[in-house]
Amino acid sequence: MKTVWIYVTDYGRIGDEDWVKVFSSSDAADEWLEQNDPEGVAWEYPIHDNVTGPLQ
């Protein structure tokens, strides 16, 4: 199953450019968080296709 990691800031406004970050791997999320928000968390979510459900 393919997944992404999503981080949502607790500052700014919904829709702002940096309000949401989407990462293609846990390593990418961890590296960004370490440098930009050490207390932050990114959650893993499956990528869905409207027809077949979660991508394999």
Question: For each successive 10 residues of the chain (56 residues), what is the average pLDDT?
Answer: 89 82 96 95 89 60
DSSP structure class, residue 7: E
AA letter at 31? E
The predicted structure's pLDDT at residue 51: 67
The predicted structure's pLDDT at residue 24: 96
**CB contact set of 25 (below 8 Å; sequence gap of 6+):** 5
Hey, what are 50's tokens? 């409207």
Hey, what are 38's tokens? 């050490």
How many other C-beta atoms lie within 10 A of the C-beta of residue 34? 10
All structural domains of the chain with their residue ranges: 3-54
Supply φ then ψ for residue 49, to 5 degrees.
Answer: -110, 135
